[in-house]
Structure 1
Amino acid sequence: MAPQWAELDPELDAIFHDDEPDGPELPRKKVPTGDVYEAARAGDVERLRFWLELGVNVNARDAWDSVALYYACLAGHLDAALMLLECGAICSENTFDGDRCHYAALNLRVRKLLKAFEARPPPLAPLPRSLRELFLKSSANLSYLEGSSTEDDSTVPRIKTSRLEAVEDESDGLGPDVTFSVAGRVMKAHRAILAARSPYFKRKFETDWRNRKQFRFESRKLTFSALFSLLHYFYTDRLDVAVDDMEDLVRVCKVCQCLLLKKALEKEIAHQKFANYKSLRGVDDSQKRFILQGSSLSWEEQLPAALRRLFRLCLANSSKEGVLRPENGSEDAGNLSRNSVQDENGYMAEEMKQERRTTSLEASSVGDEKLEFEEDHADVIILVDGQKFRCHRFILASRSEYFQARFARMSETQKACCTSRHGGFGVLPVLEEHDLTANAFEKLLEYIYTDYVEDIDPDEAEEMFDAASRYLLFPLKRAVVDVLLPQLETTPPAELCRWLLLADMYGVTKLREHCLDAMALNFELFASTPEFRQMLKALPPPSGDSELRTTAPSAPGEEGQGGNQGNLLDDLREKWLAIEGEELDKRDESARYFDGRLAQLVEMAVAEEEEFSTTEVASENKREP
């Protein structure tokens, strides 16, 4: 997704327009074939913008262990440095990359710019941002992250004194369901997230830790801060760890089988040994940090990929459960009903657990068939158009205010037995959603779990736009359009008129801009189609003179949520004038021509409609005896 360029706030504007001398600056040059490092070093902001819009990792290092921001600061290119910082480049002091940028800055303005961004963490995508808020809803996690934890054992919450707190966190069914204690300190998490991100946790939750919710680790080799940094990384896809804790974290990653993260940490540790920090600043090692973005690792190790695997597993289990559930009144149904008794901790009865283990061993097929018998830790079933979807309440509620309110009102009467002979998933609450097809809801869940949709049928787009508004997931509209736009490149003008009306109705800004751009560039081609003329007839006319307008043209790239966009024909007029006015240098004359042409096309549309009505009446008269 292309970055959204932010306007300068007053603090940054003062940096660009203060009275400080600029100092020396390398001459700018164009690098039409250069990479992001060459563009930053040359100050070629257009080339730099090209790479950033492609999604390049701004914190990646080149062969000389330097990031793009370092080169921009070294050369004193203020606008290039600002562009990199807006896209999440790390500039915090007490980090290796941040210290290099601060000390390599060519002039005072660049140093002030780095200081302005120093307290701003790299921006998180919507999915990790939502999960981070969920992770920090636990008071134990939040208190440690804010630095309120203490080394005094008498004041640190322990497992034995934290049962009430655990009940409070889990009262709505959305809080953490596992609690860890390391050296007396407590942290909490969701087993579904841990199992999705670590093969070690996945195996443990399916075997030794199946019936447990609280875990105490006594090993002196395991530090609380290292494990907390890893769990925080699982939720946010951003690792922020003290340099002192990196070696401990490497051991934790080895146990948790996070091998690529372990390799990145080992490389950084080797680099730290040769980094002369103490000669740069007299700061003790405990204050030095290492920050790693998940995008630096392979796609399979990132948060969206992990949750996508979890989502696919839930779909497979839902399909298996729906197929294998016996009919009511059958002998198997009676057996399942007897076996689905829960114990006092809310887990399956021993008979059902034993049946599940036996059935899992019998699943000897290879490939995706094995996934159908794996534990997915789902805690709710949503019924849509007769199809079951196993989901996780905490993920849905953290991503959508609609689901958050729906789960808060969920009552005990909505619980139903949803066990299956092969799955053995126990009793889960059931919610039913109406006025939505199963395919559209599956795409909705795909976005909730992964922040994107992999593919979309154009015939499903309107239903997806409606679902995005209904479930308060407005960014879903843009995710659908990102997949849809390549399919619309060869769309005929008549069809594009329908897409424009659809985009305007649902406030899909990117699709609206695409259609308007196509119409402005090929105005006469569209004018020759009856669909375009009929569309003009149905739309409010343009207001013409900007002083008489009641609605201003929409700003390009501005996200809308429907109902707050400008007049369609006003926007089309502005885009057409931007093209024709530059060529003719006669904007007023071009504007009068455009308004006259629109009026002519509307008259043609009215005449065509009257002619069509006359033809229909004549045909009806001929058919009468």
Structure 2
Amino acid sequence: MSNSRSWTIDSDLDGIDLDPQDFAASVPLKKVPFGDVFEASRAGDVVRLRDLLESGVNVNARDQWDSVALYYACLAGHLDAARMLLESGAICSEHTFDGDRCHYAALNLKVRKLLKSFEARPPPLGPLQAALRETFLGCRANGTYLEQSDNLSEVPDNSSTGGSTSGHFLPDVVFYVQGRPIEAHKVILSARSPFFKRKFETDWKYRKEVRFSTGGLFYPAFYSLIHFFYSDRLEIAVDDMEDLLRICKGCKCGSLQRVLEKELIHQKYAEYKALTDIDDSQKRFILEGMSLPEEDRLPAALNKIIQICLANSNKEQNPDGSVDNLVSCLGATQMSEFDDDLADVCVRVNKKTFRCHQVVLASRSEYFKARLSRMKDFLEGKDGLPDYILPCLEEHDLSTEAFEKMIEYMYTDGLTDIDPDQAEEMFDAASRYLLFPLKRAVADVLLPHLEMVPPAELCHWLILSDLYGVLKIREYCLDVIACNFETFAETPEFRAMLLTLPPPSGDSSLRTTAPSAPGAGGNTDQQNLLDDLREKWLEAEAAELDKRDESALLFDKRLEMLMLVAEQENSGALSSDVHQECSKEEPALPPSSIVTPKWA
């Protein structure tokens, strides 16, 4: 079982004496091949549990009795199941309702020791949520409150900017609650809440400050909600949950409101069962966005915004693709149809203008962060346009289709589909715009296509993925080639590829290490392609450790013969004798079923 999350044992528990009965489960281990995540956790069926988690099941989901899977694993004393859930992101933070419940329900001390060993903080955020959260906490007022409270986890380091992020995506609205400021961006709040969307279209359309005078609005609860809008993670003191519930009702956040109502019932029941006064001042409630319906999460909300922006961008274009010259004759009222998307910057690519939002572009890409920080001095796209038109950036050497896919990823953290012929341009754009996670998103969409490509095309993808550092595709191609080596050796494209690669290393240390177990974490640094191919082949052949040097030498000799054939083919002087000699020298490479493409 792979260990994707590092953990340490609490020193306070090291000296506890554990008896054999402390390790036993009250419920016998059994198989539930068709059970859900709760049944698998209760039964301790780690095989079924692994399959469910790998399929994307929400590890913090609740069943009809409002219990999470980790609670059942702890209650039954299933250590392996509990560890698997924790490593997959199950929340077990101290001073939370679910965390305390798991600790109290743990059958034995070994399970409690496991719970203690994991850090008391939620799992990492996704790239989109982490980027926008950093932007939110980078605002001076928001960061200051965080430093003075214990409500949230780590604080971004803003010392280099004096406690605030660069001016290119400074907040465009500031709320004052109980006299204290909360800085925010209109597009994020409008995307997450119908209340804020309506307000920014009407009463607050031109306001940069909003001051609340009502005594029923409290700063900690309102701050937690705005932070949730940016990060898809809610973390709030239990004492403030009723205040937050009232705010959610006013902001029309229906899904979050229903979760809070259920959680408040849990808290009141816990107080009733305790029969004593409970101090909730230190208790916290943590909610991950995965617990809400998909349409109420951050990526889905921003996807709606970017689709409106793309539709509005198309309205601004003439049939010939140029920027509409009639906008100089249009009045402000006629331009109002473009205000609904709250765009504050345009990007021109090949004479097409894309309406976008500075906060998203700058949060996701260091390149755009630098460009937008100088935007007041360089308005490249505004030549001949009236003053009320949005400021523009102009990008070159990029197709409109690639840019549209790039901003789709920046707003949603995913891609719906992609033309394989467009992949190389997307890899190049990810490098140029310092948007490196985009490479993995492209790879995820491409992998089903690669299962159908012939060996010649797979060689092309291997070279391309090695050039741009797309590890997921690179590993897939190496696995397929290693497990079907002789099939590839017969193709001229593979032999020609060998001439373009550096020769394999003669370092024997590369050959005497045991092959890594499937799924085990390894060194992700790229090495010599042929060295990596040799190691993949040795793993596929399952060579014994004491015979790996001999097998590796055989593999290298086979490569030399293939290169000789390729050189002869390249010079147009291939002889049948040479080809027959190479066939005699080839090592026996048994077929493997580890990775088998559909064409094999």
Q: Aligned residue for 2:422?
A: 460
Q: Aligned residue for 2:236?
A: 241
The aligned length equals 559
Which residue among 326, 332, 335 is the counterpart of 2:329?
Answer: 335
- Equivalent AA in structure 1 for residue 485 of structure 2: F
Superposed CA offset, 1:238-260 (max 9, x none): 12223333333222222222112
* Aligned-partner SS, 1:241: strand
- CA separation in 2, counterparts of 1:471 and 1:4? 34
Which residue among 256, 260, 268 is the counterpart of 2:255?
Answer: 260
Closer, same or farther: CA 464–554 of 1 in aligned 2, 3 Å? farther
Superposed CA offset, 1:119-152 (max 9, x none): 3233211111111111111222223333459xxx
- The answer to whether the 8 A contact 2:2-2:521 is kept is no
Closer, same or farther: CA 384–334 of 1 in aligned 2, 3 Å? closer
- CA separation in 2, counterparts of 1:436 and 1:552? 45
2:411 paired with 1:449: yes
2:543 paired with 1:594: no
Q: What stretches of structure 2 of length at least 5 have no aligned partner? A: 151-161, 576-600
- CA separation in 1, counterparts of 2:557 and 2:17? 54
Q: Aligned residue for 2:460?
A: 498
Q: Aligned residue for 1:305?
A: 300
Q: Aligned residue for 1:573?
A: 534
Closer, same or farther: CA 546–53 of 1 in aligned 2, 3 Å? farther
What is the CA distance between 1:227 and its match in structure 2? 1.8
2:130 paired with 1:129: yes
2:214 paired with 1:219: yes
Q: Aligned residue for 1:515?
A: 477
Q: Aligned residue for 2:99?
A: 98
Closer, same or farther: CA 255–495 of 1 in aligned 2, 3 Å? same
2:69 paired with 1:76: no
What is the CA distance between 1:327 and its match in structure 2? 8.8
- The answer to whether the 8 A contact 2:233-2:289 is kept is yes
Closer, same or farther: CA 516–385 of 1 in aligned 2, 3 Å? same
- CA separation in 2, counterparts of 1:168 and 1:142? 7
- The answer to whether the 8 A contact 1:573-1:594 is kept is yes
Q: TM-score, normalised by structure 1?
A: 0.80
What is the CA distance between 1:374 and its match in structure 2? 4.9
What is the CA distance between 1:81 and its match in structure 2? 2.5
- The answer to whether the 8 A contact 2:346-2:356 is kept is yes
* Aligned-partner SS, 2:398: coil
- Equivalent AA in structure 1 for residue 18 of structure 2: P
- Equivalent AA in structure 1 for residue 24 of structure 2: E
Closer, same or farther: CA 39–356 of 1 in aligned 2, 3 Å? same
What is the CA distance between 1:591 and its match in structure 2? 3.2
- CA separation in 2, counterparts of 1:15 and 1:502? 51
Closer, same or farther: CA 118–548 of 1 in aligned 2, 3 Å? closer
- The answer to whether the 8 A contact 2:511-2:535 is kept is no
Closer, same or farther: CA 277–85 of 1 in aligned 2, 3 Å? farther
* Aligned-partner SS, 1:135: helix
Q: What stretches of structure 1 of length at least 5 have no aligned partner? A: 150-166, 340-351, 361-372, 615-625
Closer, same or farther: CA 326–493 of 1 in aligned 2, 3 Å? closer
* Aligned-partner SS, 1:285: coil
What is the CA distance between 1:118 and its match in structure 2? 4.3
Closer, same or farther: CA 73–323 of 1 in aligned 2, 3 Å? same
Q: Aligned residue for 2:6?
A: 8
- CA separation in 1, counterparts of 2:369 and 2:530? 39
Closer, same or farther: CA 176–328 of 1 in aligned 2, 3 Å? closer
2:438 paired with 1:476: yes
What is the CA distance between 1:397 and its match in structure 2? 1.2
Closer, same or farther: CA 120–289 of 1 in aligned 2, 3 Å? closer
Q: Aligned residue for 2:593?
A: none
| Residues 290-369 of structure 1: pairs in structure 2 closer than 5 A | 290-323=285-318, 332=326, 335-336=329-330, 352=332, 354-356=333-335, 360=337
- The answer to whether the 8 A contact 1:551-1:567 is kept is no
Closer, same or farther: CA 547–335 of 1 in aligned 2, 3 Å? closer
Which residue among 370, 390, 398 is the counterpart of 2:363?
Answer: 398
- Equivalent AA in structure 2 for residue 175 of structure 1: L
- Identity, in percent, stands at 60
What is the CA distance between 1:278 and its match in structure 2? 6.8
- Equivalent AA in structure 2 for residue 538 of structure 1: T
- CA separation in 2, counterparts of 1:326 and 1:516? 43
Q: Aligned residue for 2:488?
A: 526
What is the CA distance between 1:486 and its match in structure 2? 0.8
Q: Aligned residue for 2:564?
A: 603
2:68 paired with 1:67: yes
- CA separation in 1, counterparts of 2:459 and 2:381? 47
What is the CA distance between 1:528 and its match in structure 2? 1.4
* Aligned-partner SS, 2:392: strand
Once structures 1 and 2 are overlaid, which stretch shifts more, 62-71 or 106-115? 106-115
Q: Aligned residue for 2:591?
A: none
- CA separation in 1, counterparts of 2:541 and 2:100? 50
Q: Aligned residue for 1:363?
A: none
- CA separation in 2, counterparts of 1:467 and 1:193? 25
- CA separation in 2, counterparts of 1:377 and 1:327? 23
- The answer to whether the 8 A contact 2:316-2:323 is kept is no
- Equivalent AA in structure 2 for residue 529 of structure 1: T
Which residue among 167, 175, 191 is the counterpart of 1:172?
Answer: 167
Closer, same or farther: CA 293–334 of 1 in aligned 2, 3 Å? closer
- CA separation in 2, counterparts of 1:475 and 1:455? 16
Q: Aligned residue for 2:578?
A: none
- CA separation in 2, counterparts of 1:15 and 1:418? 68
What is the CA distance between 1:536 and its match in structure 2? 1.9
- Equivalent AA in structure 2 for residue 129 of structure 1: A
What is the CA distance between 1:15 and its match in structure 2? 10
Q: Aligned residue for 1:25?
A: 24
Closer, same or farther: CA 611–8 of 1 in aligned 2, 3 Å? same
2:270 paired with 1:270: no
* Aligned-partner SS, 1:407: helix
- CA separation in 2, counterparts of 1:486 and 1:328? 38
- CA separation in 1, counterparts of 2:506 and 2:11? 38
- The answer to whether the 8 A contact 1:44-1:80 is kept is yes
Closer, same or farther: CA 245–333 of 1 in aligned 2, 3 Å? closer
- CA separation in 2, counterparts of 1:327 and 1:534? 45
2:373 paired with 1:408: yes
What is the CA distance between 1:55 and its match in structure 2? 1.9
Once structures 1 and 2 are overlaid, which stretch shifts more, 188-197 or 578-587? 578-587
* Aligned-partner SS, 1:239: strand
- Larger RCO of the pair (alpha carbons < 8 Å, separation 6+): 2
- CA separation in 2, counterparts of 1:228 and 1:198? 15
- The answer to whether the 8 A contact 1:415-1:428 is kept is no
Once structures 1 and 2 are overlaid, which stretch shifts more, 473-482 or 115-124? 115-124
Q: TM-score, normalised by structure 2?
A: 0.84
Once structures 1 and 2 are overlaid, which stretch shifts more, 247-256 or 18-27? 18-27
What is the CA distance between 1:105 and its match in structure 2? 2.0
- The answer to whether the 8 A contact 1:537-1:602 is kept is yes
| Residues 175-194 of structure 1: pairs in structure 2 closer than 5 A | 175-194=170-189
Superposed CA offset, 1:357-390 (max 9, x none): 6xx5xxxxxxxxxxxx452222211111221111
What is the CA distance between 1:569 and its match in structure 2? 1.6
- Equivalent AA in structure 1 for residue 69 of structure 2: A
Q: Aligned residue for 2:200?
A: 205
* Aligned-partner SS, 1:66: coil
- Equivalent AA in structure 2 for residue 262 of structure 1: Q
- The answer to whether the 8 A contact 2:173-2:184 is kept is yes
- Equivalent AA in structure 2 for residue 434 of structure 1: H
- CA separation in 2, counterparts of 1:227 and 1:210? 20
- The answer to whether the 8 A contact 1:554-1:571 is kept is no
2:396 paired with 1:434: yes
- CA separation in 2, counterparts of 1:230 and 1:495? 50
